[in-house]
Amino acid sequence: MDTNEIKYLIEKYNNLTATPDEKKLVEEWYERIDGAELTQTTLENLAVKKQILSQVNTRIQSRATAKPKQVKLNYGWIFKAAVILIAIMAGTYIYYFNQTNPAHVLTTSAKTNKKTIVPGGNNAVLLLADGSQIILNTTSDGQLTNQSGVEVIKTKSGELLYRFAGNATAKAATINTVSTPRGGQYHLILVDGTEVWLNASSSVKFPTAFVGNERKVEVTGEVYFEVAKNKAKPFIVHTNQSDIKVLGTHFNVNTYADEAYERTTLLEGSIEIKRSAKKALLKPGQQAILNAKADDIKVAEIEDTEAVIAWKNGYFQFEKSDLPSVMRQVSRWYNAEVIYNGKIPAKQLSGKIPRSVNVEKLVEMLAYNGIRCKVEYNQITINPK
């Protein structure tokens, strides 16, 4: 049984096309290499490698001739298999069992360079109305400023909180902006209780207090909202292509300039998308798609809305995504330049991995799936086969 057969079974497992026997086989195989029964050191012994391969092969052959039976799924292993990219899952097998295969060697200079690429983290800048800036990842916890009776506080958990001081009310407001750089993310709570999460290279511009009959903010990049309900004062999100009107709901806005489409995905409640004279009303599980080159609004059904906000929960999650779209996310989060040396590989990737993974490990495992990468300083170069 070669590595292609292993990759084939794993892919069937994640695509939900595997038979019950194949599912059980994958789960048992992962339990062997992940549990205490076999350590990484033990796995490096060639005899043990051959023994495991023989056992796996024997199981496949015996199951191929056995009468199919109902198998109770081990949901713990389903979760383990589902949260990892197919590419990385297959790469893990090769990494443990076939590290010396010269066809999958990854060249990386980052190990010897002083400057390495690291995952992003809580990193943002607060721009006040007077033009002064506060670097949020380096400033101390506690009250940062008081603007027209609104306190701005950095909490112990690292988020930014706006709240009225004492008996202050929303009589006046100033404009603030929170921006994240490439390799940054941030969470803030507006004075009305609305929660805002910023992905890398994003911003939200908002009043310190909502005066008048609406609550209006402006965004760039990718932002997730959990809007506090207030029927008397609608919440409006302005992007470079649309206005999104809500009363109280959960939704994600992706308006990156380097993406072909602006996408607004609704998770809870309802929202109205307005673009020029056109409008669209979204229900939970729907996504509005806007093309900068066409004056229309398309609405699509989304099978897994949680996949859309995986970034907010600390993961990359891809659903049959092409390599350029995957690498754009990688580039923003790791603040790394991606270079394609020659033709871009025609690959589709599906799966879920933590955004905390080391970039060298990420591209190394991508290389095991035929995507050859080189990491050097702040660059990731994709080479042809």
- Cβ atoms of 91 and 369 within 8 Å: the answer is yes
What is the chain's mean pLDDT, rounded?
78
Residues 6+ apart with CB under 8 A from 379: 336, 337, 338, 339
Average pLDDT value for residue range 176-189: 97
Residues 48 and 155 in one domain: no
Asked if residue 100 belongs to a domain, the reply is no
Residues 206 and 256 in one domain: yes
Give how far Cα 114 sits from Cα of 72, 111, 180, Å: 50, 8, 25
Write out the H or E segment, with its range, that includes residue 268: strand 261-268
For residues 368 and 95, give the distance between their C-alpha atoms in angstroms, rounded to a whole number. Answer: 8
For residues 319 and 306, give the distance between their C-alpha atoms in angstroms, rounded to a whole number. Answer: 12
Kindly report the pTM of this predicted structure. Answer: 0.71
**In the predicted model, is pLDDT for residue 252 greater than 90?**
yes
CATH number at residue 328: 3.55.50.30
Half-sphere exposure of 11 (CA within 13 A, CB side): 13
Residues 6+ apart with CB under 8 A from 292: 241, 262
Q: What is the pLDDT of residue 214?
A: 93
Q: Which residues pair with 205 in a beta bridge?
A: 177, 218
For residues 52 and 37, give the distance between their C-alpha atoms in angstroms, rounded to a whole number. Answer: 12
Residues 281 and 300 in one domain: yes
Pair of tokens at residue 45: 């012994």
**In the predicted model, is pLDDT for residue 312 greater than 80?**
yes
Asked if residue 93 belongs to a domain, the reply is no
CATH number at residue 207: 2.60.120.1440
Residues 303 and 328 in one domain: no
For residues 13 and 16, give the distance between their C-alpha atoms in angstroms, rounded to a whole number. Answer: 5
> pLDDT tens for residues 83-141?
444 444 444 433 333 333 333 333 333 343 445 788 999 999 999 999 999 999 999 99
Q: Residue 69's CB: how many other CB atoms inside 10 A? A: 8
Which structural domain range is residue 298 located in? 121-308
Confidence of residue 14 (pLDDT cuts 50, 70, 90): low
Pair of tokens at residue 129: 């109305």
Q: What is the pLDDT of residue 105?
A: 33
Domain boundary among 308, 334, 349: 308
For residues 385 and 371, give the distance between their C-alpha atoms in angstroms, rounded to a whole number. Answer: 7
Residues 214 and 342 in one domain: no
Asked if residue 268 belongs to a domain, the reply is yes
Domain boundary among 274, 308, 342: 308
> pLDDT tens for residues 286-311?
999 999 888 889 999 998 999 999 99
Closest CA to 364 of 352, 356, 372: 372
Closest CA to 292 of 366, 240, 340, 238: 240
Amino acid at 348: Q
Domain boundary among 308, 330, 350: 308
Residues 180 and 265 in one domain: yes
Confidence of residue 35 (pLDDT cuts 50, 70, 90): very low
* Total domains in the fold of the chain: 3
Residues 289 and 340 in one domain: no
Asked if residue 87 belongs to a domain, the reply is no
Q: Which residues pair with 225 in a beta bridge?
A: 196, 251
Residues 63 and 148 in one domain: no
- Cβ atoms of 331 and 308 within 8 Å: the answer is no
Q: Which residue has the higher pLDDT, 47 or 326?
A: 326
**In the predicted model, is pLDDT for residue 75 greater than 90?**
no
> pLDDT tens for residues 186-230?
999 999 999 999 999 999 999 999 988 999 999 999 999 999 999
Share above pLDDT 70 across residues of the chain, in percent, rounded to a whole number = 70
Q: What is the pLDDT of residue 375?
A: 87
Residues 21 and 63 in one domain: yes
Residues 33 and 177 in one domain: no
Write the burial class of residue 58 (CB in 10 Å: 0-12 exposed, 13-18 middle, 19+ buried): exposed
Residues 295 and 163 in one domain: yes
Residues 21 and 134 in one domain: no
